[in-house]
A and B are shown apart, each in its own frame.
Chain A
Amino acid sequence: MKELKIISLTLIAGFLMLSSTEIFPQSENKDIEWVSLEEAVSMAEENSKKIMLFMEADWCSLCKKMKAEIFPLSEIQQKIDSSFYAVRIDIESNDDVNYKSQKWTKKELSQEFGLYATPTFIFLESDQSIIGNKAGYMDQDEFIKLLSYISDEKYLEGDFENFQNN
């Protein structure tokens, strides 16, 4: 019985120890210039930039990984700053947001969009019409290609998979 206790305690202690391990550093990226959706819409109307919505959640480890590992990269920041207005949407937030002249909470808007995974990137034209979306973590190469695919309007010529392969 004593041996069983030792086995059980060892396993439980180990599991708790591993559970407490922080997977990704929670550094907040300060370099991408995040704006509100209202600001993004207002500014996008004045120039040709697209809008990129980063749909995230507090508990989303892959969102944290994107913020910690991909967003701080200078190539990514330059691409976003030059071609997009970037907006963070917390899918569980009850804060209000205006979209197409209608008031939503961010949570309601996320549900209206039919989100099924986080992170999800949703790209909008300057008039707020939807271009498309992509769910999941992306490494630097894939993310840069996606940003170029949208900013260069290659989506008018074909799908993203073909664009990636060319």
Chain B
Amino acid sequence: MVKKIKLVLMAFIFMGITSTFAIGQTCSCAGAPLVNSQSLGAVEKGNLVIGLTTDFNNIDQLYTGSKELKNRSSKRETFTTLVEANYGLSSRITLSGTFSYVQKTRTTGLQNSSNSQELETTGIGDALVMLKYSLIKPSLWKPYQLMAGGGMKIPFATNSLKANGLALNADMQPGTGSWDGVGWMLFSYTVRSLDLNVYTMNSYKRTTPASRFSQDDEYKFGNEFNSMLGILKPAFDSFSYSLQLKFRTAEADQRNGSKMPSTGGEWLNIVPGIGYSFTDRLSMQVSGEVPLYQNVNGTQPTTTYIVRASMFFSLDKANTGFSFGLPNNN
């Protein structure tokens, strides 16, 4: 717990020095954190915004229910690189694609350091393709927006990796092997008097079973719901800072139709972050994430902290130059 406090305080001190924003999250199960990494909303027609994110998830706590156990024997670290591209198909429709590369390291035998063993898997992760529709577009006189979207998680990654001839657990595989449906929504409101943006982003992932190793072995990750509530405030010209609460609930996984013990649960995390805009077209975000509450099914290793850094490149023609006529002629 002392580590948690140190991490939060370090993030907080950094915020105090520079002051600003960010958005982020990951799952503590398997595959890449695709759904929760959706950091962008609407993109104007013809514009392209590309986000490059690195996400480090340190899973080295052991919980039973909401209680931490001190006799953990293993830990896992997941390092994910995500490329997220958003393209404005029309004034209201944005096409979004997120692609991933995953590196996972599991260390076992921690109770006896001389016997600890490390296993690493790497590979291309799954991808997520979504269409987002702006139901309410913000304007100078309407400081709020509502977007809804849906898409599919595409199983590009393998879910049948072996090590030394032995089948690896689902949580060490780069992908889940399944085609999953995703529903997504974003609502944001700008409190002008405070120059503060309040937003909520929610998603639901409905999973499907996937065969692995042999056609007889079918694994299905639990359906999951993610909800984020955040505030974002610009500060000191090019900086912004944010604070986000993230709630995630996942059903238990199933193997060959039977519920897997010690899978699924509920997590509530807090995410302070900062952002900086180098130019109109280039910005970065850094965030840290620590659990506030977790209640897992059975006994599971779970996230201690997540650190995430993103760069965003906007390949649009920044609409800040002089133009002839009125703004509505642009």
- List B221-245 residues whose CB lies under 8 Å from chain A: 231, 233-237, 241, 243
| Nearest CB in chain A: distance from B306 CB, A | 15
Q: Per a CB cutoff under 8 Å, which of A4, A114, A122 touches B292?
A: A4
- Judge whether A110 and B140 touch: CB under 8 Å: yes
- Judge whether A132 and B323 touch: CB under 8 Å: yes
Alpha-carbon gap, A18 to B233, bound state (A):
9
Q: Per a CB cutoff under 8 Å, which of B15, B16, B243, B327 touches A116?
A: B327
Q: Per a CB cutoff under 8 Å, which of A3, A113, A131 touches B1?
A: A3
- List A120-144 residues whose CB lies under 8 Å from chain B: 120, 122, 130-136
Alpha-carbon gap, A162 to B96, bound state (A):
35
Q: What sequence of 0s and 1s flags, for each residue 139-175 of chain B, a beta carbon within 8 Å of any chain A beta carbon?
A: 1110000000000000000000000000000000000
B4 within 8 A of partner (CB): yes
Q: What sequence of 0s and 1s flags, for each residue 1-42 of chain A, a beta carbon within 8 Å of any chain B beta carbon?
A: 001101110111011001101010000000000000000000
Total number of A-B contacts with CB less than 8 angstroms?
111
| Nearest CB in chain A: distance from B292 CB, A | 6
| Nearest CB in chain A: distance from B26 CB, A | 19
- Judge whether A160 and B322 touch: CB under 8 Å: yes
- List A98-114 residues whose CB lies under 8 Å from chain B: 107, 110-111, 113-114
Given known A14-B12, A135-B319, A136-B320, contact A19–B233 (CB-CB < 8 A): yes
- Judge whether B326 and A21 touch: CB under 8 Å: no
A161 within 8 A of partner (CB): yes
A61 within 8 A of partner (CB): yes
Q: Per a CB cutoff under 8 Å, which of A7, A136, A160 touches B5?
A: A7
B9 within 8 A of partner (CB): yes
Nearest 8 CB-CB pairs, A to B?
Answer: A114-B328, A59-B192, A160-B322, A136-B320, A132-B324, A134-B322, A114-B327, A3-B1
* A residues apposed to B, CB below 8 Å: 3-4, 6-8, 10-12, 14-15, 18-19, 21, 23, 57-59, 61, 65, 91-92, 107, 110-111, 113-118, 120, 122, 130-136, 146, 149, 155, 159-161
10 A-B pairs within 8 Å (CB atoms) are namely A3-B1, A7-B290, A15-B241, A21-B235, A117-B140, A117-B327, A122-B326, A134-B322, A160-B321, A160-B322
